[in-house]
Structure 1
């Protein structure tokens, strides 16, 4: 398994990504190679790894524009023994983990909820913004309250604007569900926008680790077919 994400932006995020990779490797289902650097470093990691190999995104759909672009730059066209999986998206077990993180942060039934996603330039055909909206709808059904989507970068509304909108609509308490696998400097601002609670990122929870490994198992089976 080659775990892929952009880890070049800050040391905190890179450390968290490596902790996630170590947790996956500790399951001992497959050798794990961490590719959290530049495009050249990712290409080198893949080219130096004998197959069969599966490239698995260590980020969520719509959670990380830089990682999305990094993965899109990888060409496996000449590797019959390699394939890549899609980033995790609107998966029921992952959304259930979002709810667990909200509860742990102090969310209470009736509180407003903002789903904090990355935002940015969406690559043609990958449907990341749609997946974020699907996650928001699934989360809304689970917590029995409307969920606003807010973005950390580029797209509107911002997380702060989404929190303010819910407050204007009568929610004195607003919790932020963090649509990220790992922590990083980008998330520091979430703790400063005045939300009642900010949920921790999803990884490396057992649910996330198991789902990443399940992706690897399914892709390995396809390669062997």
Structure 2
């Protein structure tokens, strides 16, 4: 029996996110590889949805490591300890193919060789997610051959605006913002207000994202069967 993929994210604080999350769930379901159950909302609703799914199941974060503080807190609060037929995957992080797609989006948004780049993440208290964001910045810097500063929207320092200002002080008048976001939301407007040269669109339901989520599901299925 193929385990159900339960996609988890918090969309309770941002109505704009709901459509993007639904599009992502639909894109995964259209591959027809696994049953897909979306679990989007505040913590109690998400927990109730997960509990209602008959096993086996794999709980998959519908957000990026360090890219969604509210969803990371919700995900950390899910309790699967009593279920032998369930496991969870880590949020998507420093995956080379995803970073390559982010670099492509920078070019499409108007970034040019020599421009500074800020990787705009949300931030979480989790040290592993912080390391993932730093790894993405290093990988992106190598791809675009330009300095990449990390800036945060909700947690940690520096802020995105501080990171943009630092690059400009260091001789980079043109600065592009790479949004480390899976789906659109209110933070998109905040990034647009920075006066950056370019701001990328969220990764959304791009094929590489769907491919990676399904690869995570296959790896988790193997763990459940072991």
Instruction: Say whether the fold is shared (TM-score over 0.5).
Output: yes
Deviation at 1:15, TM superposition (A): 1.4
> Which residue in 2 is equivalent to 1:188?
189
Contact 2:47 2:78 in 1 (8 A): yes
> Where do 1:42-121 residues align within 5 Å?
42-120=46-124
Separation in structure 2 between the aligned mates of residue 83 and residue 165 of structure 1, nearest angstrom: 42
Give the match for residue 130 of structure 1. Answer: 131
Does the CA-based 8 Å contact 1:203-1:209 persist in structure 2? no
Q: TM-score, normalised by structure 2?
A: 0.95
Counterpart of 2:154? 153
Any idea what SS the aligned residue of 1:127 has?
Answer: helix
Tell me how far 1:78 sits from its aligned partner: 1.1
Moved over 4 A (4+): none
Are the aligned partners of 2:69 and 2:154 in contact in 1 as well (CA < 8 Å)?
A: no
Distance in 1 (CA, whole Å) between partners of 2:33 and 2:49 is: 19
Matched, 1:5 2:5: no
CA distance in 2, matches of 1:154, 1:50: 36
Structure 2 gaps, min length 5:
none
CA positional deviation for 1:183: 0.5
Choose which of 27, 47, 54 in structure 1 pairs with 2:31.
27
- Determine if the alignment matches structure 1 residue 178 to structure 2 residue 182: no
Contact 2:117 2:146 survives alignment (8 Å):
yes
Q: Distance in 2 between matches of 1:34 and 1:137?
A: 32
Flag structure 1 segments of 5+ consecutive residues without an equivalent.
none
